[in-house]
Amino acid sequence: DIQMTQSPSSLSASVGDRVTITCRASQSISRYLHWYQQKPDKAPKLLISFASSLQTGVPSRFSGSGFGTDFTLTISSLQPEDFATYFCQESQSTSYTFGQGTKLEI
């Protein structure tokens, strides 16, 4: 099984900050890595697919990078609506493992 490890588990930041969240796979997953944002009591929302492809309608302050085992999600200038939990998800395997999540707090 592929294990996905996110760091940090939680992060305190301020509006305007630049933040980076990391996701590490236990084995190479090429670019089969996707990022989601989840707000309280809401379903996750797809932000980025295949490591770096921004979904339609997602602000350009979000970006993703990486290949193989190490990936990052960067928010260039935090906005109030960005405070949420972020999850990565691999699709190299058919188990579609998610990371444990990173809670971004004010």
Cα(32)–Cα(91) distance, rounded to whole angstroms? 5
User: Per CB under 8 A, which of residues 26..85 are in contact with other proteins?
Assistant: 32, 34, 36, 42-46, 49-50, 55
| Smallest separation, CB 49 to other proteins (Å) | 5
Beta-carbon neighbour count of residue 28 at 10 Å? 11
| Smallest separation, CB 59 to other proteins (Å) | 17
Under the binding rule (CB under 8 A), the answer on residue 97 touching other proteins is yes
| Smallest separation, CB 100 to other proteins (Å) | 5
Place of tokens 């309608």: 57
DSSP 41-73: TS--EEEEETTTEEPTT--TTEEEEEETTEEEE
Residues of this chain that bind other proteins (CB under 8 A) = 1, 32, 34, 36, 42-46, 49-50, 55, 87, 89, 91, 94-101
